[in-house]
Structure 1
Amino acid sequence: MKQRDDDVDTTTPGARPAQHAPRGRASLRAAPAPAGPFRIDTEELRSRLGELHPDDEPPLRFLPELDRLVEAVNTEAGLTREGAAAVRERLLSALSQQVRLSALAASDPGTPTPGLTHPVFISGLPGSGASLLQNLLVEHPGVDSPTLWEMLYPVPRTEDLPGRRALIGRARAHVETSRRHVRPRTVGRFREATRPGGCHQLFVNAFQSPASGMHLRIPRYLRALEASDLTGAYAFHREQLQAIASRIPVDSLVLRAPFHAARLDDLLRVYPDARLIRVHRDPVAVTTITAGVSTGLRRATSDEVAPRAVGREWAGRIERQLAQTMRAGRRLGPDRLLDVRHADLVSAPAATARRVYRFIGVEPAPAVLDNVRILARSTAAPARPPQRFEAADFGLSAPELRERFGAYIDAYGL
């Protein structure tokens, strides 16, 4: 697959990220101020974190990564006042999750953590059907996935019912905010606080989520992240997942994020027995949907969103990611890697689910497959005809995209 550098800015600043040695709060340094007034101040984050956790002084982690992310947000994202406030709260939540995870580990260091053996990772870009597949699979009683609210808050402040309801309410508000900017498009049908959530949320707490570009224009940061080693972020992903999994007694844990297949080496260093499911769809549709969703989500935080620039940026990023996905997958055998096509998932959901269940190692009862059919049917018929994204909306040409993605299209019969 031919590579192109079509990001808005493809400069890669600095070298590879430093190793994630713990550092104290004092290392939270102020990031450079952007030209505009709406910025993120790490000193303010440190102050607010101290107010939220006055009795805790654990060593915070991934602070160099936080500094780089904040610098990128301040210089590239063009935040509005409301956008800066939303980003500030998300970063503060990430730091709070670090504090609570450290406190949880220190509360009873002798307690064994869940083994998380043979986890299943689904990888598929927005619109590929990865979320649909994840939701169909959890119809089986032996398969589970953490919900969106658990991914957003892997270590709750309290385990009591009122505290849990409050977090679910916050997660619902988070979903509703994002939906306002993509309606009436057909996206995010399974994006609910109590439905399975994407585990890319756990990378946000290490300030190294490749999915951050959906919400923010930070092309230089994301290009640098593509060349970075995410092993440390995956290790932190596992720590958070263990905290969640201690509350989920299940045989098969299924996780989903758009970039797992492209980061397979990093993933396998932390989850050496992991299995991977790749969901494939015509990359013209996937690129268009990703550009459309990203355009809408970025408008929640910035007034400086140019759809054509967003389309160009995502076309280049997706091209590189799919090329890396194809290369990485050659290292796994059929017992560890399963490819699923969106067309098969939509046209024959029960048969496709049965195939995936066998790959996972669970046997579906007829009632489970009936539930799969019902759930798939309910998502296939929206109440109103949706407004579709078109490639031309983002300065893209469908024939040119098909030529660019020709090797991928041929490899998977798309």
Structure 2
Amino acid sequence: MADKVIPDGAFAVPSAQALIRTAGATPTADSVAGLEALLASIKAESELSLFGRVSLRWDFARLLRNAQTIEDAHRANPALGATPVKAPLFILGLPRSGTSFLHALMAEDPDNQVPRNWQMIYPAPRPAGFNPAGDKRVISVDKQLDLFNDLAPGFRDMHPIHADSPQECSEITSHVFQSLRFDSTHRVPGYFDWLETHGHRDAFVFHKKFLQFLQNGTSARWVLKCPDHTFTLDAILDVYPDARFVILHRDPIAVLGSVAHLTQVLRKPFLRNIDAGEIGAQVAARWTQGANLLLEFDQRADVPAARKLHMQYEEFTADPLTAIERIYAHFDEPFTAAARTAMDGKIKAKPRGGYRRHAPYRLETFKLSVPALQTAFLPYVQTYCQAAR
């Protein structure tokens, strides 16, 4: 019997209202606006694979349902919103600059809280003494990550994560469809332009609600990470005026090929006809802007030196525990024996955070010119990276 052919129209990009009905949700007007802008951009600018079409329906309906769970919990228990999120620590830096490794190590401190991968799929607090190995939600998400790695070979080599690993904040803000996460997996320049105009404040208002839901009425010491924070600093400081920042720095020329390759790997399961040159141009433009925004951030009068710490990638990776000790000292936080022991065990179990060594990715593959990049990033490199050379 011949295989049944599934027509493309069977999995066409759905409307926002169809997804909302599927999810049984009542999203805010801002969330609907983001969803409509994203769907319009995907429909016009992304050539989805069959997997991309099927996964879009599942993923977007999940985001709508999860956001409804958070909003319903706050309505049912106003004490959640009354519990502060005190002085959260945000890890900043260009991609591939050691931010994930630092986040994972700081997650080992039992006095810190971080958002976890499984909590993005099944939102719920993570209680003290939690055993991920015996939790059905964690097991389910690990299976999903295994499947994605099969669809995107090399993903875990470049980004070694599991279900209970720390997750980036762009996954939280994706629940209200105001997140740069979608640009990693889809070609959506129109949506990115919409988001640049709309701003990120609504997303971080929800972000705070999500953290309050996870901390479940008990104020926590949050450690948060996402390279995209570079583009959302105004919103972060509006919602978290006491926020603190660690900024990791690494020569952009050394990592842009890796950033472009990771984008290519992430898009492969979802899109047809991926253009490596277009990805290269996008990555170069995006992170030239990001580097300049970090320079501007350093000049902000509303974020005094006591609330931020700059660190070289080379300093951190050469001696992670000493570097982390400096972070704790700078922010006047106790670096306990329990935290040090847990972090040391993590380092010994997974040196370099589990990242494998490989030959540098060729910039020419993505039509990137080294002299042009050196010129574009010169102010950033001269300010932050010269000492590491």
* Bin of the TM-score, shorter chain as denominator length: 0.7 to 0.9
Q: Could you tell me whether the CA contact under 8 Å between 2:245 and 2:309 is conserved in 1?
A: yes
> Which of 369, 378, 382 is residue 397 of structure 1 equivalent to?
369
Partner of 2:201: 231
- In the TM superposition, residue 383 of structure 1 has moved relative to its aligned partner by 9.6
Which amino acid in structure 1 is aligned with residue 67 of structure 2?
A: Q
Which segment is superposed worse, 400-409 or 145-154? 145-154
- In the TM superposition, residue 250 of structure 1 has moved relative to its aligned partner by 6.7
- In the TM superposition, residue 394 of structure 1 has moved relative to its aligned partner by 1.2
Partner of 1:192: 162
Extract structure 1 runs of 4+ deviating beyond 6 A.
34-37, 381-384
- In the TM superposition, residue 40 of structure 1 has moved relative to its aligned partner by 2.9
Q: Could you tell me whether the CA contact under 8 Å between 1:121 and 1:254 is conserved in 2?
A: yes
CA offset digits 1:304-330 (Å, max 9, x no partner): 211121111111111112212211231
CA offset digits 1:145-167 (Å, max 9, x no partner): 121111343358xxx999x9443
> Which of 208, 230, 234 is residue 265 of structure 1 equivalent to?
234
Q: Could you tell me whether the CA contact under 8 Å between 1:185 and 1:386 is conserved in 2?
A: no
CA offset digits 1:230-268 (Å, max 9, x no partner): 111110111111101117x57521011112233221111
Q: Is residue 320 from structure 1 mapped to residue 289 from structure 2 by the alignment?
A: yes
Give the unaligned 5+ runs of structure 2: 1-7
Partner of 1:39: 13
1-side partners of 2:131 and 2:345: how far apart?
Answer: 31
Q: Could you tell me whether the CA contact under 8 Å between 1:38 and 1:79 is conserved in 2?
A: no
2-side partners of 1:72 and 1:112: how far apart?
Answer: 34
Q: Is residue 175 from structure 1 mapped to residue 149 from structure 2 by the alignment?
A: no
Partner of 2:64: 95
Give the 3-state SS of the residue equivalent to 1:303 in structure 2: coil
Q: Could you tell me whether the CA contact under 8 Å between 1:151 and 1:199 is conserved in 2?
A: no
Give the 3-state SS of the residue equivalent to 1:210 in structure 2: coil
Which amino acid in structure 2 is aligned with residue 47 of structure 1?
A: R
Which amino acid in structure 2 is aligned with residue 355 of structure 1?
A: R
Give the 3-state SS of the residue equivalent to 2:306 in structure 1: coil
- In the TM superposition, residue 384 of structure 1 has moved relative to its aligned partner by 6.9
Q: Is residue 362 from structure 1 mapped to residue 336 from structure 2 by the alignment?
A: no
Q: Could you tell me whether the CA contact under 8 Å between 1:184 and 1:386 is conserved in 2?
A: no
- In the TM superposition, residue 374 of structure 1 has moved relative to its aligned partner by 4.3
Matches within 5 A, 1:218-367: 218-246=188-216, 251-331=220-300, 332-366=303-337
Q: Is residue 207 from structure 1 mapped to residue 181 from structure 2 by the alignment?
A: no
Q: Could you tell me whether the CA contact under 8 Å between 1:126 and 1:286 is conserved in 2?
A: yes
Percentage identity across paired residues of the two chains: 24
- Paired positions, count: 370
Q: Could you tell me whether the CA contact under 8 Å between 1:128 and 1:279 is conserved in 2?
A: yes
2-side partners of 1:379 and 1:368: how far apart?
Answer: 17
> Cα RMSD over matched residues?
2.9
Give the 3-state SS of the residue equivalent to 1:362 in structure 2: coil
2-side partners of 1:272 and 1:195: how far apart?
Answer: 27
- In the TM superposition, residue 143 of structure 1 has moved relative to its aligned partner by 1.9
Q: Could you tell me whether the CA contact under 8 Å between 2:173 and 2:207 is conserved in 1?
A: yes
- Check 1:320–1:223 CA distance in 2 against 1; reply closer, same or farther (3 A cut): farther
Which amino acid in structure 2 is aligned with residue 357 of structure 1?
A: Y
Q: Is residue 146 from structure 1 mapped to residue 124 from structure 2 by the alignment?
A: no
Partner of 2:3: none
Which amino acid in structure 1 is aligned with residue 364 of structure 2?
A: A
Which amino acid in structure 2 is aligned with residue 306 of structure 1?
A: D
Which segment is superposed worse, 121-130 or 41-50? 41-50
CA offset digits 1:386-412 (Å, max 9, x no partner): 454221221113343222211111110
Give the 3-state SS of the residue equivalent to 2:255 in structure 1: helix
- In the TM superposition, residue 372 of structure 1 has moved relative to its aligned partner by 3.1
TM-score, length of structure 2 as denominator length: 0.86
Which segment is superposed worse, 69-78 or 218-227? 218-227
Which amino acid in structure 2 is aligned with residue 169 of structure 1?
A: I
Which amino acid in structure 2 is aligned with residue 396 of structure 1?
A: L
- In the TM superposition, residue 345 of structure 1 has moved relative to its aligned partner by 0.9
Q: Is residue 411 from structure 1 mapped to residue 383 from structure 2 by the alignment?
A: yes
Give the unaligned 5+ runs of structure 1: 1-33
CA offset digits 1:326-384 (Å, max 9, x no partner): 11231122111111221111112111110111233322245643543443352339697
